[in-house]
Amino acid sequence: MNAQRRRLIVLALTGLLVAAGAWVLRPLARQTRPAPGGPVGVLEAAIADIQTGKRSTPLISAPTAQGDVTVTFLARTLGGQVPRIVSDVTGWGENADNNTFDFTIGRMTRIGHTDWYALDARVALGARIEYFVVHGPGDYRFDPHNPRRTQLRGGGPSSEFVTPGYLPPPEFADPPVVPAGTTTEGTVASRALGGSRRVTVYTPPGYREGGDYPVAVFQDGFAVVHAGEVPRLLDYLITRKAIEPIVAAFAESHRYGDTADYADTSMRTFLTRELLTWMASRYAVTRDAGRRAILGVSYSAKDAFDAAVNSTGAFDRVGLVIPGRRLGLDEIAAVSGRPGHRLRVAILAGQYDHANLATARGVRQALAGAGHAVDYIEVPEGHSRATWRNHMGEVLVSLFGTRTK
């Protein structure tokens, strides 16, 4: 389970949530209709098939002329509670303006006189959507009639479904590449951050000393290297010549339990000076900023953005992967009026990342308006580890692709 969803559950259990009905997510109310997806008799027949194992949930309609489908979630009440669906398509009930949650979002409607409930949502083709069935405060469950789960290393799964046209990432569906690159562990002493930081370094198959390899630095990269399986992804892309051979550093910028935000220049100093100096002294990497990229996922996108925009000579390429709201509107707006070096930027955004989508689109507009080269990738998924893992290859191809050199 990703950090955003864990935070939702913790807040629910500690009582730090808004009262039910205190806030209404108007855009989602138009998208998710609290009405059963067809005549009661049709749904009752579907439920009978579900109970005998002949069908699974949710129900997905045929594609419409508008290029979407109607998805009907079905759930049985437990203990008389009216169930809810919290999901990418309901925005997880989160209010992006004040970081509160609404317990009325995703509330289901009873089907006739049965103890089953339904909720409809319009969903794009080619989508992958994660969700839970909620039976009360803190009671988040898998859909018992949907065997499909997100499959991740090091993260809790959720129920998920896909709509017609979805294609799984071949880099993880195919067997791992042989021969593979090599990963080694190291430690970077950091005066800026007040202590050492671990780093995992990937070198590509056929790596040779004396080379001049491009560099990718992943801010807060330990989750990326382990749960995200990015070394495996790099092997796949390099072997197929989709990207040039690169050296990648996965930095433990924030240590476990570290609550510091590093809002000053300390994180920038670590990323643009200390870490790059450490790499140059140990690996055959370029010193050309035009061939170096920094990437940040979600919370860490702010640090990657800051390091690229505010430090000339470090990184001329930047990947912002489902960037979170920590990257504020003031920082985004300041880019348009600031002269400086031109960046090559790849932004990955989730169409159903309702709380953060405006951030991604705002960054795209500001950077493109300032003359930077922006490749914007928006996929019909939400804000989750599976989203960035499955689409990280598109970001890397944008930044290091052999056809875009």
Provide the pLDDT for residue 404. 57
Cβ neighbours for 364, distance < 8 A, ≥ 6 positions apart = 347, 374, 376
Cβ neighbours for 345, distance < 8 A, ≥ 6 positions apart = 308, 317, 318, 319, 320, 367, 372, 373, 374, 375
**Range from 6-20, 136-150, 174-188 carrying the lowest mean pLDDT:** 6-20
Domain range 171-400, CATH class: alpha beta
Identify which of 9-13, 35-39, 260-264, 315-319 has the greatest average pLDDT. Answer: 315-319
CATH code of the domain made up of 3-163: 2.60.40.10
> How far apart (Å, rounded) are the C-alpha atoms in residues 394 and 3?
23
> How far apart (Å, rounded) are the C-alpha atoms in residues 112 and 127?
30
The per-residue pLDDT for range 303-345, each reduced to its tens digit, is 999 999 888 889 999 999 999 988 887 778 777 656 667 899 9
Name the residue ranges covered by the structural domains of the chain: 3-163, 171-400
> How far apart (Å, rounded) are the C-alpha atoms in residues 73 and 120?
6
**Range from 97-101, 273-277, 380-384 carrying the lowest mean pLDDT:** 97-101
The per-residue pLDDT for range 196-211, each reduced to its tens digit, is 999 999 999 999 998 8
What pairing do the DSSP bridges indicate for beta strands 59-60 and 344-350?
unpaired
Whether pLDDT at 151 is above 60: yes
